[in-house]
Amino acid sequence: MNIHHLELFYYVARHGGIVPAVRNMPYGIQQPAVSGQVARLEESLGTKLFNRRPFALLPPGMELYEFIRPFFDEIDHVGEAIRGGSAHQLRVAAPAIVLHDYLPEILRRVRKNFPAFRLTLHEAARAEAERLLQAGEIDLAVTVIEHKKANGVGSRALLELPLILLVKATQRLTRANELWGRDKIEETLITFRRSDPVSIRFQLGLQQLGVEWFPGIEVNSARLIECYVAHGYGIGLTVATPGFKAPKGIRALKLPNFPKVMIGAAWTGKLSAIAQQFLTEVEREATSLRKSRRRLTL
């Protein structure tokens, strides 16, 4: 068997099809080339390995994938270990506000135990963070987590955050309750995708009130929500991070009776020593923020 053909099949099986495999491969290769070379692998084995549409591994494909997966799963880690860098690399994905407001201090504490390491940071909302995790491109993500986890994903709850609405300061709206009494909410709702936990929990809260209001503008970051609210495109839905202060020209409206969202850390596989240290420091920071919040509410 051709080793390169096996590698291509590994990515196809891992990512659930030829198209997603091409998107997640660490080097450029066109879809027809992958299709052709995987077909040659099947010819050399004298059997079909998977159904194309919808994608599904057949028994021979499952047997082959289970055999080659340990090798290809670990090949990057072995390379890092040989180069002496496996314990000195940290790759993290998180929303912009976490990268900007919280990570500098957390990383400063990590450096006490790991004075020198290579750092890669990705600004990513939940969907992109999940993709990066599944593709093995990051070690750990700080993101919204749910009770139902994807296969092979470990997670740790950190902070429960309330939902808030953002309105332009020039609007007369001062309380969210003023919206619920209307026959129809005319303002455009600006928020994350409908499948995002923030949007899902907001819709649950609206259902309890008997109100219908669906996203009119969907974005992938809290900064974009703030930007479009400031420019008068509508009302934004986001979460209130600890110490949140609305940007200039924007007013925040509380949603006290709406479900909250859980921010946590997520990872796949076994954490390296430096990733474990990072997780410890993130948990320590979250504990400190929870205590500060309780003191403020007393």
- DSSP-derived letter for residue 149 is -
25 with 11: CB under 8 angstroms?
Answer: yes
- Global pTM exceeds 0.85: no
- DSSP-derived letter for residue 261 is E
Give the number of other CB atoms < 10 A from CB of residue 104. 9
| Structure confidence at residue 154 (pLDDT) | 86
pLDDT tens series, the chain, 298 aa: 788 899 999 999 999 999 888 887 777 788 898 999 999 999 999 999 999 889 999 999 999 999 999 888 887 666 656 655 545 789 999 988 888 889 999 999 999 999 888 899 999 888 888 888 888 889 999 998 876 655 568 899 999 999 999 999 999 999 999 999 899 999 999 999 888 889 999 999 999 999 999 999 999 888 899 999 999 999 999 999 877 889 999 999 999 999 999 999 999 888 888 999 999 999 999 998 888 766 544 3
Q: According to the CATH classification, is domain 163-259 in 3.40.190.10?
A: yes
- DSSP-derived letter for residue 52 is T
Q: Give the Å distances, CA to CA, from 88 to 72, 257, 272.
A: 21, 45, 9
Examine domains 86-152+265-297 and 163-259 and report if their fold is the same: yes
23 with 30: CB under 8 angstroms?
Answer: no
Q: Distance (Å, rounded) from C-alpha 187 to C-alpha 19? A: 38
β-pair type (215-219, 189-192): parallel
What kind of architecture, by CATH, is found in domain 86-152+265-297?
Answer: 3-Layer(aba) Sandwich (3.40)
134 with 124: CB under 8 angstroms?
Answer: no
**For the chain, domain boundaries:** 3-82, 86-152+265-297, 163-259
59 with 70: CB under 8 angstroms?
Answer: no
256 membership: H or E segment, kind and range: none
Q: Find all residues with CB under 8 Å of 176, minimum gap 6, and list them.
A: 165, 253, 254, 255
Q: Find all residues with CB under 8 Å of 42, minimum gap 6, and list them.
A: 48, 49
- Spelled out in words, what is the top-level CATH class assigned to the domain 3-82? mainly alpha
List residues bridging with 190 in a β-sheet. 217, 236
